[in-house]
């Protein structure tokens, strides 16, 4: 892993959309490849809810990244050709300023960390891009929450972007998504160890609540048919006992696994940011906002996704209009297909992208040489 951290907004003020100051702030990020002399070969990769900057490995033996099958030498996002940047999002707990960070007085923010928005996160990402000296982005790509940020990038900074790739995302949070998020937040807040978000002061952590929240979320990340194929109503014992269903053990495992690497206040802040997302708010509505996105937009959905249903990706493609393409990858797993089946996403990108498609670039170079 080759994570770097830079301090931004030391000489200028960063104020959230909720009018709260967070200057200065740290941003963690990783890069692959080399920025060209013309500074226009950069690809910005945006992670999902509990992701981080480690989208791909840097060397043999390095930790495998969450989009390992998509990013690297000779892969769809070819690090031999592109300067790839993956920042950790504002409000997270992997190096960028968030609820686990220290304030100016040395105390940890905890629940006092301000409410943030997808727009706030993009503002910070733009500051990082400027800091790195990038003049133009060849591609901005993200999945799920990262796809929401990609759309915000396209709306606000489309003139500096060649292409967008929006994967398994939506231009607005739906009632179903908001409802699930609300239940997750309540499960954390009802944990006796939560203490109104000040659990650090008590030396405890609301692990049971966070585990339950992750279980609810993970259930929505998978496809119901896939879960039934794997677990049905099977139990781990010959007698039916409480908590002995195999699917329950599976969800507990994933919930407990998250508590070992993530923070509860962080989870709440990021989930709320997703719930508040509406690209069209204050911009004349979603349709009007999407129509203002100028870069070519590659929209990819997962055919079995029950959380970000494919109709939400069609809404994006239709709204952007003639500059957009729409594809569905086939996956049995549901929303998590944007991670599990990254190779299929890469195939779509190479077919649809003028920026990434080696064949197209080689043909153009050959044409120019005659």
What is the reported pLDDT for 237?
A: 62
- In whole angstroms, give the CA distance from residue 280 to residue 129: 25
Instruction: Reply yes or no on whether the pLDDT at 366 is more than 60.
Output: no
Q: Could you tell me the pLDDT band of residue 46, with boundaries at 50, 70 and 90?
A: very high
Contacts of 93 (CB under 8 A, 6+ apart): 99, 100, 262, 263, 266
Residue 182 shares a structural domain with residue 151: no
pLDDT confidence band for 242 (50 / 70 / 90): low
Torsion of CA 123, 5, 262, 202, to 10 degrees: -100
The pLDDT of residue 23 is 86
DSSP helix/strand/coil, 345 = helix
In terms of pLDDT, which residue wins out, 336 or 236?
A: 336
pLDDT of residue 241: 56
Both 245 and 97 in a single domain?
Answer: no
Q: What is the average pLDDT score of the chain? A: 94
Q: Do 183 and 130 fall within a single domain?
A: no
Domain boundary among 228, 252, 273: 273
- Given this model, what pLDDT does residue 243 score? 54
Sheet holding 4-8, edge to edge: 4-8, 25-32, 83-87, 42-46, 137-143, 161-167, 296-302, 324-329
- What CATH number should be reported for the domain holding residue 342? 3.40.50.1820
- pLDDT at position 13 is 87
Residue where one domain finishes, among candidates 248, 273, 298: 273
Residues 115 and 85 in one domain: yes
* DSSP, residue by residue, 118-158: HHHHHHHHHHHHHHTT---EEEEEEETHHHHHHHHHHHHHG
Shared domain for 228 and 332, answered yes or no, is no
213 and 318 share one domain:
no
Tell whether 135 and 199 lie within a shared domain. no
pLDDT tens-digit readout, 125-135: 999 999 999 99
Residue 365 in this model has a pLDDT that exceeds 90: no
Q: Using 50, 70 and 90 to split pLDDT, how confident is the model at 171?
A: very high
Pair (13, 96) in one structural domain: yes
Domain boundary among 257, 273, 289: 273
Residue 367 has pLDDT above 60, yes or no: no
Contact 220, 306 (CB under 8 A): yes
Q: Is 335 a catalytic residue?
A: yes
Catalytic residue among 170, 211, 335, 353: 335
Domain co-membership, 45 together with 60:
yes
Average pLDDT over residues 144-148: 98
Is 58 an annotated catalytic residue?
Answer: no
Higher pLDDT, 234 or 151: 151
Structure tokens at 250: 């599976």
Q: Find the catalytic residue in 305, 309, 331, 336.
A: 305
Mean pLDDT in residue range 239-244: 58
What's 82's DSSP letter? Answer: -
Which of 53, 101, 144, 187 is catalytic? The answer is 144
Yes or no: say if 45 and 153 are a contact pair by the CB < 8 Å rule: no
CATH number at residue 252: 1.10.1740.110
Tell me the per-residue pLDDT of 174-208, one tens digit each, with 9 for 90 and over. 999 999 999 999 999 999 999 999 999 999 999 99
| pLDDT bracket for residue 236 (50, 70, 90) | confident
Average pLDDT over residues 44-53: 98
291 and 165 part of one domain: yes
The β-bridge partners of 102 are 108
**Which pLDDT score, from 0 to 100, does residue 361 have?**
44
Question: Residue 239 pLDDT more than 80?
Answer: no
| pLDDT on residue 244 | 80
**Domain count for the chain:** 2
Is the same domain home to 315 and 246?
no
Whether 346 shows a pLDDT value over 70: the answer reads yes
Instruction: List the domain range (segments joined by +) for residue 330.
Output: 4-172+279-369
Q: Are residues 259 and 240 in the same domain?
A: yes
Is there a catalytic annotation at residue 144?
yes
């Amino acid at each position: 892993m080759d994570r770097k951290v830079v301090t931004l907004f030391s000489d200028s003020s960063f104020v959230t959309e909720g009018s709260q100051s967070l200057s200065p702030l740290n941003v963690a990020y990783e890069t692959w490849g080399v920025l060209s002399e013309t500074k226009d070969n950069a690809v910005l990769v945006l992670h999902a809810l509990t992701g981080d900057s480690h989208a791909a490995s840097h060397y043999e033996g390095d930790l495998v990244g969450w989009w390992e099958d998509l990013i690297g030498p000779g892969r769809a996002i070819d690090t031999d050709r592109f300067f790839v940047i993956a920042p950790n999002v504002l409000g997270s707990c992997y190096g960028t300023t968030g609820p686990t960070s220290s304030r100016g007085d040395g105390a940890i923010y905890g629940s006092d960390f301000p409410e943030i928005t997808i727009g706030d996160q993009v503002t910070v990402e733009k500051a990082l891009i400027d800091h790195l000296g990038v003049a133009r982005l060849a591609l901005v790509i993200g999945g799920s929450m990262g796809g929401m940020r990609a759309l915000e990038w396209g709306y606000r900074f489309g003139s500096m972007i060649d292409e967008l790739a929006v994967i398994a995302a939506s231009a607005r949070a739906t009632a179903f998504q908001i409802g699930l998020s609300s239940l997750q937040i309540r499960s954390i807040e009802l944990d006796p160890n939560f203490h109104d978000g000040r659990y650090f002061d008590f030396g405890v952590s609301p692990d049971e609540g966070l585990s339950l929240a992750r279980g609810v979320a993970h259930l929505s990340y998978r496809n119901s048919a896939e879960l039934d194929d794997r677990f049905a109503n099977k139990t781990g014992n010959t007698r039916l006992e409480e908590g002995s269903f195999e699917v329950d053990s599976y969800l507990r495992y994933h919930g407990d696994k998250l508590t070992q690497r993530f923070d509860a206040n962080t989870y709440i802040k990021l989930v709320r940011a997703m719930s508040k997302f509406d690209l069209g708010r204050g911009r004349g509505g979603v349709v009007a906002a999407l129509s203002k996105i100028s870069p070519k937009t590659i929209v990819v959905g997962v055919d079995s996704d029950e959380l970000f249903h494919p109709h939400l990706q069609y809404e994006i493609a239709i709204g952007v209009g003639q500059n957009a393409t729409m594809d569905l990858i086939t996956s049995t797993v549901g929303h998590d297909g944007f991670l599990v089946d990254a190779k299929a996403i890469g195939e779509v990108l190479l077919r649809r992208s003028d920026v990434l498609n080696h064949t197209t670039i080689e043909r153009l170079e050959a044409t120019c040489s005659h």
